[in-house]
Amino acid sequence: MAGDPYAVPAVPQAPDGSVAPGAAGVPDKPPSTGADGDGGDTLVSITDLKVHFPITSGVIVQRKVGAVRAVDGLSFDVLRGETLGLVGESGCGKSTTGRAILQLEKLTAGQVFYEGADLARLHGGALRRQRRRMQMIFQDPYASLNSRMSLGHIVGEPLLVHNLRPRGEREDRVKELLNLVGINPNTINRYPHEFSGGQRQRIGIARALAVEPNFIVCDEPISALDVSIRAQIINLLQALQRSFGLTYLFIAHDLSVVRHISDRVAVMYLGRIVELAANHELYGEPFHPYTQALLSAVPIPDPLVEERRRPVVLAGDVPSPASPPSGCHFHTRCPAAQKGLCDVDDPVLREIRPGHFAACHLVSAADYPKIRSAEDRAAAAGTAAAGQTTPGGDAS
């Protein structure tokens, strides 16, 4: 915060014995906060999760010529009853992560433990029984409901599949669920096209709740909805969490919404987690340069704030996950990147402060890079050496 008018900080990286922990491709230590150990507060535990999609070439004989590393070595825990926000730009692998946790994508490597059980080892009936505890709410309420099924069928199907209620009670249960999410229970014989986007999302939520899950992956549940409807759905999700003790993995790109709903937040970039911390920590004092840039780029709906806001404009685009940059994946766009370090060594997700993890060489408990906008750098340079110092000897 105060002082330190340099854009590029000194690198007090030496004390913690360089990059020991993840050296030989060993997975990063799984970041779980507080009550550690197996079980305890942890509901879902993810260890070195990798999902690579093959790139093939050839018409008849498909040869594998490469891989899109959508998710490339994630380790984190989801604690019981919390909302863990997962943010990042499109293509960073956040949706794939959500799907992989529910075993909707085949894992290339790594494990997903749900209440201690390794999901990747379960098949058929055993997996289906576990899946009952885990559900998903999808982004697009237009694509995620079968348009040829009535509401009663859509919401009632999970009951049937998992054989949850006796036949006679199913309709009552469906009505109860619809009521719960704010849909008139008398519409049970209607079809999805008769409902608006917000209502459909409510129906999708009712379907997810039908099997009484503990854990729900919410994949961009509000980004397809109108502004005035978003708050309704967010409030509904929070109310349901309170009444049923649900645990959410909330995947979104909207940083304001994630801040509103999450207890802890993980930031992803190119298939990796670059920072993970409690909500107030991450938004209050982001360590990783990427997190800082992301947060500064969010427009605030207030012209007076906007006048003063100086976003860090990152140069360039997100590189392709098929050929991620060497070393730190972010070094090509990072204003603080150091030659010979960041483009060579792959930073490991380390616990900088209790519960606050970051994957950056330049971050230590004592200091971290403070990324600033071009205007701020120019202003600092102007005051420092009243003459015509060229701004930004560090970046671009």
Nearer to another protein, 294 or 348 (CB): 294
277 near another protein (CB under 8 A):
no
304 near another protein (CB under 8 A):
yes
Q: How many residues make contact with another protein (CB under 8 A)?
A: 45
Nearer to another protein, 185 or 311 (CB): 311
Q: Which stretch binds another protein (CB under 8 A): 38-46, 72-80, 243-251, 288-296?
A: 288-296
> ∠ CA 364-370-375 to the nearest 5 degrees?
170
- Token pair of 335 as six digits: 């204003």
What totals of helices (H) and strands (E) does the chain contain, helices first? 11, 12
259 near another protein (CB under 8 A):
yes
Determine the Cα–Cα distance for residues 242 and 94; give it in Å rounded to an integer.
25
Determine the Cα–Cα distance for residues 117 and 133; give it in Å rounded to an integer.
12
89 near another protein (CB under 8 A):
yes
392 near another protein (CB under 8 A):
no
Contact 208, 132 (CB under 8 A): no
Please pick, from the candidates 238, 241, 338, 389, the single residue that binds another protein as defined by CB under 8 A: 238
Site map (CB under 8 A) of another protein, residues 194-213, x = contact = --x-xx--------------
Counting Cβ atoms within 10 Å, is residue 209 exposed (0-12), middle (13-18) or buried (19+)?
Answer: buried
Nearer to another protein, 9 or 197 (CB): 197
Residue position matching structure tokens 């999760």: 49
Least distance from C-beta 257 to another protein, angstroms?
Answer: 6
Nearer to another protein, 217 or 267 (CB): 267
243 near another protein (CB under 8 A):
no
293 near another protein (CB under 8 A):
yes
The count of other CB atoms within 10 Å of the CB of residue 80 is 17
Least distance from C-beta 333 to another protein, angstroms?
Answer: 8
Strands (E), the chain: 42-57, 63-79, 83-87, 109-114, 117-118, 134-137, 215-219, 247-252, 264-269, 272-278, 350-353, 356-358
172 near another protein (CB under 8 A):
no
- Alpha-carbon dihedral of residues 227, 276, 341, 54, nearest 10 degrees? -70
Q: Which stretch binds another protein (CB under 8 A): 96-104, 157-165, 304-312, 339-347?
A: 304-312
Helix (H) or strand (E) holding 246: none
Q: Which stretch binds another protein (CB under 8 A): 9-17, 223-231, 350-358, 376-384?
A: 223-231
Contacts of 20 (CB under 8 A, 6+ apart): none
**Residue 377: C-alpha distances to residues 1, 156, 339, 374 (Å):** 15, 59, 20, 5
Nearer to another protein, 5 or 284 (CB): 284
Least distance from C-beta 231 to another protein, angstroms?
Answer: 3
Please pick, from the candidates 43, 216, 295, 381, the single residue that binds another protein as defined by CB under 8 A: 295
297 near another protein (CB under 8 A):
yes
Determine the Cα–Cα distance for residues 4 and 369; give it in Å rounded to an integer.
10
2 near another protein (CB under 8 A):
no
Please pick, from the candidates 26, 55, 305, 366, the single residue that binds another protein as defined by CB under 8 A: 305
- Token pair of 202 as six digits: 């409510």
DSSP conformational letter for 125: H
90 near another protein (CB under 8 A):
yes
Determine the Cα–Cα distance for residues 208 and 135; give it in Å rounded to an integer.
6
Q: Which residues pair with 13 in a beta bridge?
A: none
- Which one, of 224, 324, 230, 226, lies nearest residue 268 by Cα? 324
Please pick, from the candidates 185, 244, 260, 322, the single residue that binds another protein as defined by CB under 8 A: 260
Binding site for another protein (CB under 8 A): 89-90, 196, 198-199, 226-232, 234-235, 238, 253, 255-257, 259-260, 279, 283, 293-307, 309, 311-314, 317-318
